Structure 1
Amino acid sequence: MVALWTLFAASTFLLYWIYDGYGRFLHLAVTVRNLTGHAGRKPQESEEGQGTSDPGKLPSITALLTVHNEQDTVERTLRNLLACDYPPDRLRIVVASDGSTDATNSIVQEMHHPQIALFTSPGLGKTATQNMAVRDIESDILLFVDADISFEPQFLKSVARSFAAPEVGAVDGRLLYPSRGGSAEVEGQGFYWKYELRLRDLESRLGILAVMTGACMSIRRELFVEMDPSIGEDCIVPLDIVQQGYRVIHATSAQAVDRFEDGLGVTLRRRIRMTLRNWQGTWTRPSLLNPFRYPRIAFALWSHKLLRWLSPVFLLCAVAASLAMVILSPSLITLAAFAPYATLLGMAGCGWIASRAGRRIPMTGTAFTFLLANIAFLVGVLGAIRGQRIRSYRNV
């Protein structure tokens, strides 16, 4: 029984740390730094108004939009970027079309816009296409964007001002998902994403952020390192930035808008793909996971990423250990240990049934999405360990 209690307690603690404790610890660390006066001026403050407003001093930006058969969205995205409040002579957009067979290329060409250039590749995959396109980009800032994102008018200026601090090597935009109702999966994803943004903001303030969103992230062009074609840009670019001694910050005012993909199958496949590529990408930079070489970054990466992807293992251990204790030694204590997990599984089951019926039951959507995410984490990690490779992302 001692072994079962130990397994149960350790697994439960790790689950709490991953999904609540780590965030509380970061909040406490930020509060202590602010109270003791050791935080100093945060790099984020430069984009909140400390950066230059002189158009001639703003850095040049090239937005890299990598697409495959995006005829329905490409023009809207391009016009949205062009409508941002930024000097036209400081903004260039490169549309990297990877093996598009629809009207994507012709739509871009027919715009005849001096700030837009079309780059084509023969179906190499998203990351390989990005590697080729970046070779011809010479601007100060390289901005990675997706075709289904809408940018707020001040997005580009917020990004530019974030780079006023010389120690900043990359800026993570704040991707928002407006609440518009939807399925149980959408409800749960919204809860998860709010926590994710909270972690990024706190890690950014502490100077330990090493995570970015590929749909709206930017880096200093000279810091770009050519990427493994089987790993996504958001999986390794922030790691390369911190490994070169620069900081990654989360710019809260650099806002972009997306919508959650609805549907159980779509959600599951996306999470599996993201987990697989992120796991592989993170382990290609093993020194950053070494607490003796990069203690602060390693702490953040293990707490924010790796332990989260391993959470299905801890969940299975906690459920199995608590159930075994109930069977071997039934008592109020062992029942109390098993009850939270039984409740979680029951609520997740109700959430699945409600999702299939097209209905919503309060809180069950979050429980169902939590369980769905852990299934995806498990499948993704196992796929990564087996050496599975994915050379495309979304439509590319």
Structure 2
Amino acid sequence: MIALFWISLFIIFYAFIGYGILLYFIIKVKRAVKGKPVLPTANNLPTCTLIVAAYNEERFIEEKIKNSLELNYPQGLLKLIFITDGSSDGTADIVAKYPQIIHMHSPERKGKMAAVHRAIDTVDTAVMVFTDANTFLNADAIVNICRHYSDPKVGAVAGEKRVLITEASDATAGEGFYWKYESKLKVWDSELYSVVGAAGELFSVRTDLYEHVPATSIIDDFMISMLIARKGYRIIYEPDAYAMETASEDVKEELKRKVRIAAGGLQSIIWLKSLLLPFKTPTLSFQYISHRVLRWTVVPFLMILLLVLNIILVHNDEGAIYQLFLAGQVMFYGMSIFGWMLEAKQIKVKIFFIPYYFCMMNYAVIRGIFRYLSGNQSAVWDKAKRK
């Protein structure tokens, strides 16, 4: 029981903090030996197509179009495709007003990937960039992404997600903190070898490396990028290409999003099971297991087990150290519960929202796992509401 306690504690610590510490020191050593990596220049940029799938985005689409048209890129090398399949509001009508945009629309709603695949089949450029309809890119985002394709080993490039927190009164205040930490891990992952998957807010791939993912894919952006990484190509992280979006409207919406990601995470682990063996791509497998697999599978259950074991060990009077650990766990979960209570009253004390957000994320993983195993998670696009 004591051994199980320490093993559980180590895995939890490693998954959320230890891996980051290890990465930090590996990168320090790598830079001491090889020097800091030099960013490629923006000369000889490839032809590129920006693809935006928009479902009932009447609220954001006009601003998204204007943002896309203002992106800096050499004239004649950038195409814009907007797909509005299944939209029942005014989204399609708004897009149709802009002749600069290739507009694809079908009244049928078959899911995001079915819509994206229709667009991809028409692409004739070297690179494709995907971005969400409710996110807004910095002016040099496409330039900063596409400059990396001068390296033939680069198969995909992931941009940065930035969460705009304004007057946050709930656990979504933790969303910004979480993404800042995740962004730093991605910088180090990329420098070591490769980012472990890309987020749909902003990422790109070489067109000739793209593989159609199954229509049943839940987190298609992650699968698309990881299928390329599995072939031996790197996924680079580019923090100077960023997509800005507001936080989830409330905790309920954020939880819905996290449950879907967790269900998709388990699906991806099953589909990408070859990456669990380090024989073909050892560094990628190490990063994948450390950064994704542990968080998406065992860690939330180990957190529950750790608390139960801790209570038993204190009851059995195994030593003062277990009393200290139990006090720490009680305090942490107490802060999380207090954050949940404050959220219900819309009281702004952000210190309680980080443990609350952390617990909510892990609860979402458990729900997502059971939802996927029960077959109740649809691949049909059901976006979370934003502020």
Q: Which residue number corresponds to residue 289 of structure 1? A: 276
1:343 corresponds to which of 331, 348, 368: 331
Q: Whole-Å Cα distance in 2 between the matches of residues 303 and 133 of structure 1?
A: 34
Cα deviations by residue, 1:229-248 (Å, 9 ceiling, x for unpaired)? 12132220111111222110
Query: Which AA in structure 2 matches 1:197?
Result: S
- In 1: Cα distance, 2:23 partner to 2:56 partner: 42
Is the Cα contact below 8 Å between 2:230 and 2:281 reproduced in 1? no
Give the SS at the match of 1:219.
strand
Taking the TM superposition and a 5 Å limit, the aligned residue runs for 1:140-179 are 140-179=126-165
* Partner AA of 2:239 in structure 1: T
Counterpart of 2:252 (choices 254, 258, 265) is 265
Query: Deviation of residue 127 (structure 1)?
Result: 1.2
Q: Distance in 1 between matches of 2:129 and 2:351?
A: 37
Question: Which of 46, 50, 53 is residue 63 of structure 1 equivalent to?
Answer: 50
Shifted more, 381-390 versus 144-153: the winner is 381-390
Q: Aligned partners of 1:302 and 1:121: how far apart in 2?
A: 41
Contact 2:162 2:176 in 1 (8 A): no
Q: Distance in 2 between matches of 1:239 and 1:361?
A: 38
- Give the corresponding residue for 1:51: 42
What code does the residue aligned with 1:118 have? M
Aligned to 2:23: 26
Between the aligned partners of 2:22 and 2:203, the Cα distance in structure 1 is 26
Tell me which residue corresponds to 1:363: 351
Corresponding residue of 1:213: 199
2:109 partner SS? coil
- Corresponding residue of 1:7: 4
1:258 match: secondary structure = strand
Q: Structure 2 matches for 1:376-391, cutoff 5 A?
A: 376-391=364-379
Deviation at 1:58, TM superposition (A): 2.3
Equivalent residue letter for 2:20: G
Letter in 1 for 2:194: I
**Cα shift readout 1:71-107 (whole Å, capped 9, x = no counterpart):** 2211211110110111341111111112111211111
1:230 to 216, 226, 237: 216
2:189 to 159, 178, 203: 203
CA contact (8 A) 1:60 1:141 kept: yes
Contact 2:137 2:244 in 1 (8 A): yes
Secondary structure class of the residue paired with 2:12: helix
What is the rounded CA distance, in whole Å, between the counterparts of 1:230 and 1:193 in structure 2? 27
- Whether 2:105 is the aligned partner of 1:114: answer no
- The aligned counterpart of 2:292 is 305
Q: 1:389, CA displacement in angstroms?
A: 3.6
**One-letter identity of the residue aligned with 2:199:** T
In structure 1, C-alpha distance between the alignment counterparts of 2:180 and 2:7, rounded to whole Å? 26
Distance (Å, rounded) in 1 between the aligned partners of 2:163 and 2:85 = 27
SS at match of 1:177: strand
- When the two chains are superposed, the root-mean-square deviation of aligned CA atoms in Å is 1.8
Letter in 2 for 1:355: E
What is aligned with 1:182?
168
Q: Alpha-carbon deviations, 1:260-279, whole Å to 9, x = none?
A: 10312111111000111122
User: What is the CA deviation profile of residues 191-243 of structure 1, one whole-angstrom value per residue up to 9, with x for unaligned ones?
Assistant: 21111111111000011322211111000111110111121322201111112
The structure-2 alpha-carbon separation of the partners of 1:59 and 1:256, relative to structure 1 and needing over 3 Å to count, comes to same
Separation (CA, whole Å) in 1 of partners of 2:90 and 2:279 = 52
What is the one-letter code of the residue matched to 2:317?
S
SS in 2 for 1:254: strand
Percent of matched pairs sharing the same residue: 25
Are 2:270 and 1:279 aligned?
Answer: no
Check whether the contact 1:128–1:227 (CA below 8 A) recurs between aligned residues.
Answer: no
Aligned to 1:128: 114
Instruction: After TM superposition, give the deviation of residue 121 of structure 1 in Å.
Output: 5.7
| CA distance in 2 between partners of 1:362 and 1:389 (Å) | 32
What is the Cα deviation at residue 362 of structure 1?
4.2
Residue deviations 1:107-144 (CA, integer Å, cap 9, x gap): 11122x23433243611101122122211111111111
CA distance in 2, matches of 1:204, 1:330: 43
1:393, 1:8 → 2: CA distance?
Answer: 40
Q: CA deviation at 1:332?
A: 2.6
* 1:17-54 deviation per Cα after TM superposition (whole angstroms, max 9, x unaligned): 111110011111010011122x6745xx11xxx230xx
In structure 2, the residue corresponding to 1:162 is in which secondary structure? helix
Partner of 1:327: 315
User: Does residue 245 of structure 1 match 2:242?
Assistant: no
Structure 1 residue 166 displacement after superposition: 1.4
The ranges of structure 1 where at least 4 consecutive aligned residues each deviate by more than 6 angstroms after the TM superposition are none
Structure 1 residue 329: deviation in Å? Answer: 2.3
1:140-173 CA distances to partner (integer Å, 9 max, x unpaired)?
A: 1111111111111111111121212111110101
Once the two structures are TM-superposed, the CA of residue 325 in structure 1 deviates from its matched residue by 1.2
How far residue 331 of structure 1 moved from its aligned partner, in angstroms, is 4.9
- Tell whether the 8 Å contact from 2:165 to 2:247 is kept in structure 1 after alignment: no
